[in-house]
Structure 1
Amino acid sequence: MQGNLGVRSRASLRVLLPRQLTARARWLQGSGRTVASEEDEAAVPYVDVPRAGRKWERKPYVTPMKVLIRRAKEERQARRENPCRVLEHPPDNGLVVPHLVDVARRVHAAREGLLGGLTRLVEGAVPVKRCRFCSEVHVGRVGHEIRTCEGRNSGARNSLHVWRPGTVRDVVGFPYCYHLFDRVGKPRVVHKEKYDVPRLPAVLELCIQAGVDVQRYPTKRRTRPVYSIEGRIVDFEPDVDDDEAARTLHEPPACRPSLPPAVAIAAIGTSSSSSAAVVNGEGEEAEITVPELASRTLQSWLDMKSGAAKLMKKYSVHTCGYCPEVQVGPKGHKVRMCRATKHQQRDGQHAWQEATVDDLVPPNYVWHVADLAGEESPLANELKRYYGKAPAVVELCVQAGAPVPVAYRSMMRLDVVPPARDEYDLVA
């Protein structure tokens, strides 16, 4: 009985102690924070950096397996009762979802604005470092000294990184997938077509399937739903000429990015008073500061992720359970290109499953640099448990002057004050 009470008391202490310490730290910092900000933080749950899965482990299923089995049984039963039926609900019937077309256009515009803003910030405001032997990325002028390198000859360097200048692709990387001209009539790409079918960023393919027209990647737009005959998709829509199709279907308005297309940054420093010259649609130049540009870029990132999450509720996106391959469409492709765990048993094919937003837009977590004034001293390996992390885009925009999003405050550990290098062994 005493043992059980002791276990319960220790468990309660583990839960209450961090909350008491956090409240005490907020009280010591003063009453500069408003009640509204405290209520906003209380509404957002505590979120930490997700643990990276091991190479031999499969990604967790988004939908439980029992639910997937039940859906398959219901679909099989409906197919037996009515072998020939018209698919009524888009996008399974080949039509686009009407209320998601505007969402797809906003996601496409946010992606264009994100890439434009990141290019200008990386080139002139905040430098980016990348390890020469692994995929580690650091946002700042001086690379950190945290020993997490797993690349070539890392044992001889005590797992220290060898830094080199990075680019925008190191900050945000969009996985590529195969483009589907007809997502319902031919939903899969076979192995023989791997060099014939173009590949493009998965976010762009999701926007195209949701209703965005890109001239470089044509796609088939239907006006009538398709039929399902014993599980096979049959299209009875007659083929029309291009001129008639152009008269029938109206051309959607062009997507305009959230950031202006031409932004020239001149003499950008680390101070918040730096400005950039923005050319608006009328040809007039307007001044925009670096913090404003960072705030717009960060907002484009948040809009793109939230819009992609809405699109993924209707449009299927698949990912491999063992590698980062992504395919947008009703089914995954059959190209034998997987080199992850157990690929010999699958003959090189991917183990497809439902994807998440992080699979479509990888966050690429980096270490958060809290003290920008003392940035010349790199992050120490002994103090890594006191440092927080954030997606590379968020860290880059925050260092450029954008406000910290509420959803990432706990992940960045803004309420933790790390000790000095000569004091880390004195902290319990």
Structure 2
Amino acid sequence: MHKILKPQHLLSKKPNLTHFFSSKTPIPLPYGTETNDPSYKDIPKPVRDKSERKPYVTPMKVLIKRAKEEKEARKLKPCRMLENPPDNGLLVPQLVPVAYQVYEAREVLLSGISKLVKVIPVQKCRFCHELHIGHVGHEIRTCTGPGSGMRSSTHVWRKGRVHDVVFSPKSYHLYDRVGKPRVVHDESRRVPRIPAIVELCIQAGVDLEKHPTKRRTKPVYSIEGRIVDFEQAKESDENEHNLHDENLDPLMGSDLGTKFDEARNFIVDKETDPLEESQEGVTDLREISIGTMESWFKMISGAKKIMEKYGVLTCGYCPEVQVGPKGHKVRMCKATKHQHRDGLHAWQEATIDDLVAPNYVWHVRDTNGLPLDNKLKRYYGKAPAVVELCVQAGAPVPDQYRSMMRLDVVPPDRDEVDLVA
């Protein structure tokens, strides 16, 4: 016969708390905290602590495994010819037109912002990096600059400039990204620094007279991890002074160089510039804002494609960026624990936000209304400074930033703050 448990026996049995509090037990989340919409973007998180390192794009375990595999490959075959571009010194043919598109889009973007800033003012805090688009600065207390405690974190506004809207860190220009990928500390004054997005376009195939770079026609070799260029050994001493010009001639004479030249001419001649069209016939501010926003998205999407092949590194503690396979050795880092690194940067893989900072600003719905209130900041949305500037100039709101700008949230009035739950 089966024994029937009495209620007191049931109460005496202890529940399995280990199973209840284990990570395998699914805990239902409240309604509205999850979303399956891939286009949903929330307001970016606050600025991280200065002592905290940037998150790794690739997990550390994957990086360690990749380094071990490369080490084993060098042991099995010490001398080998690198086959895959751009590691072998050659260009990626598919990315050359993309590089020209990114470079042209950047020029159009800066030209459009310079025109929009004359109509829609840009406010910049004197003590921190906060930016605001509008005639009057907001009253949200988020200043972290010097003396912010005495001002209750209130911003002190001044007139902003074009480069405040689109901030692109500078990178050392590499003449030979494979043969000499690093800039040492003694060369920091002699090597020019240019915007990182421009350096990325140059390494991907854009030719600029002000910033020459070496173009190879044959791949390089790797001997026990060291890059050896046999093409350079065959050249005479007289040709080394004009190395850039001589490397361009055989490249442009080949079929590959012809494709590069055709792609460049097609982009420069055939691609329509929305700002030039507006200058010819339409002088509407809305047309300029639409063209500026299109060039912004074109530059961002093209830079992402190039970064999949060409390496871009950033410091884990400061905004420094270096375009190339390796980071430089200039001792200029002043971030956390720089004394332990002797001023060297802690290099890691960069993201598109490190290459072109979006610079998020608060979204202003009514440009003629009262300034944004600090008590209502949880009802306000944000957007990149370029997007906010173009939207205030008349451009339509992009779909990918509708959720971030919180257009579906109705903020209460200032006298209704205490009545809202």
TM-score (norm 2): 0.85
Distance 1:246-1:224 versus aligned 2 partners, 3 A rule = closer
Q: Counterpart of 1:360 in structure 2: which amino acid?
A: L
Quick one: distance in 2 between partners of 1:13 and 1:313?
A: 36
- Please, which of 148, 154, 172 is the counterpart of residue 154 of structure 1? 148
Aligned: 1:404 with 2:394: no
1:43 deviates by 5.1
After TM superposition, what 4+ stretches of structure 1 lie above 4 angstroms from structure 2? 240-246, 260-263
Quick one: distance in 2 between partners of 1:295 and 1:211?
A: 28
* Contact 2:293–2:386, Cα closer than 8 Å, also in 1: yes
Q: How does 1:257-296 map to 2 (within 5 A)?
A: 259=273, 278=279, 285-296=280-291
Quick one: distance in 2 between partners of 1:226 and 1:244?
A: 17
1:60 deviates by 0.3
Quick one: distance in 1 between partners of 2:327 and 2:149?
A: 38
Q: Counterpart of 1:336 in structure 2: which amino acid?
A: R
- Please, which of 187, 195, 202 is the counterpart of residue 181 of structure 2? 187
Q: Which residue of 1 aligns with 2:161?
A: 167
- Please, which of 74, 81, 95 is the counterpart of residue 76 of structure 2? 81
Quick one: distance in 2 between partners of 1:236 and 1:221?
A: 14
* Contact 2:274–2:291, Cα closer than 8 Å, also in 1: no
Q: Counterpart of 1:393 in structure 2: which amino acid?
A: V
Quick one: distance in 2 between partners of 1:258 and 1:93?
A: 35
Quick one: distance in 1 between partners of 2:248 and 2:355?
A: 32
Q: Which residue of 2 aligns with 1:68?
A: 63
Quick one: distance in 2 between partners of 1:157 and 1:100?
A: 50
Quick one: distance in 1 between partners of 2:150 and 2:246?
A: 68
1:157 deviates by 1.7
Larger Rg: 2
Q: Which residue of 1 aligns with 2:235?
A: 239
Quick one: distance in 1 between partners of 2:330 and 2:32?
A: 51
* Contact 2:314–2:349, Cα closer than 8 Å, also in 1: yes
1:426 deviates by 0.6
Q: Counterpart of 1:15 in structure 2: which amino acid?
A: Y
Quick one: distance in 2 between partners of 1:153 and 1:321?
A: 27
* Contact 1:101–1:210, Cα closer than 8 Å, also in 2: yes
- Please, which of 357, 360, 373 is the counterpart of residue 365 of structure 1? 360
Q: Counterpart of 1:378 in structure 2: which amino acid?
A: P
1:13 deviates by 6.2
Aligned: 1:178 with 2:147: no
SS at match of 2:74: helix
Distance 1:348-1:229 versus aligned 2 partners, 3 A rule = same
* Contact 1:143–1:163, Cα closer than 8 Å, also in 2: yes
* Contact 2:41–2:401, Cα closer than 8 Å, also in 1: no
Q: Which residue of 1 aligns with 2:5?
A: none
Q: Which residue of 2 aligns with 1:197?
A: 191
Q: Counterpart of 2:317 in structure 1: which amino acid?
A: Y
Q: How does 1:24-423 map to 2 (within 5 A)?
A: 42=37, 44-123=39-118, 125-237=119-231, 238-239=234-235, 241=239, 245-250=247-252, 252=261, 253=264, 256=268, 259=273, 278=279, 285-374=280-369, 377-423=370-416
Aligned: 1:16 with 2:32: yes
* Contact 1:172–1:364, Cα closer than 8 Å, also in 2: yes
* Contact 2:275–2:291, Cα closer than 8 Å, also in 1: no
Quick one: distance in 2 between partners of 1:328 and 1:291?
A: 35
Quick one: distance in 2 between partners of 1:382 and 1:342?
A: 37
Quick one: distance in 2 between partners of 1:177 and 1:247?
A: 28
Quick one: distance in 1 between partners of 2:272 and 2:50?
A: 38
Distance 1:216-1:421 versus aligned 2 partners, 3 A rule = same
* Contact 1:113–1:258, Cα closer than 8 Å, also in 2: no
SS at match of 1:249: helix
CA deviation string 1:216-241 (max 9, x = no partner): 00000000000000110000013385
CA deviation string 1:141-179 (max 9, x = no partner): 110001111222222222111111111111111100100
Quick one: distance in 2 between partners of 1:52 and 1:15?
A: 28
Q: CA RMSD in A?
A: 2.4
Quick one: distance in 2 between partners of 1:112 and 1:239?
A: 37
Q: Which residue of 2 aligns with 1:274?
A: none
Distance 1:246-1:232 versus aligned 2 partners, 3 A rule = closer
Quick one: distance in 2 between partners of 1:318 and 1:396?
A: 29
Q: Counterpart of 1:16 in structure 2: which amino acid?
A: G
SS at match of 2:317: coil
Distance 1:310-1:246 versus aligned 2 partners, 3 A rule = closer
Quick one: distance in 1 between partners of 2:314 and 2:328?
A: 10
Quick one: distance in 1 between partners of 2:156 and 2:40?
A: 36
Distance 1:209-1:258 versus aligned 2 partners, 3 A rule = farther
Q: After alignment, is 41-50 or 227-236 more displaced?
A: 41-50
Quick one: distance in 2 between partners of 1:59 and 1:120?
A: 35
Distance 1:414-1:260 versus aligned 2 partners, 3 A rule = closer
Quick one: distance in 2 between partners of 1:371 and 1:17?
A: 29
1:410 deviates by 0.9
TM-score (norm 1): 0.84
SS at match of 1:345: coil
Quick one: distance in 1 between partners of 2:178 and 2:382?
A: 41
Distance 1:157-1:314 versus aligned 2 partners, 3 A rule = same
Q: Counterpart of 1:239 in structure 2: which amino acid?
A: E
The count of aligned residue pairs is 381
Q: Counterpart of 1:53 in structure 2: which amino acid?
A: R
Distance 1:140-1:423 versus aligned 2 partners, 3 A rule = same
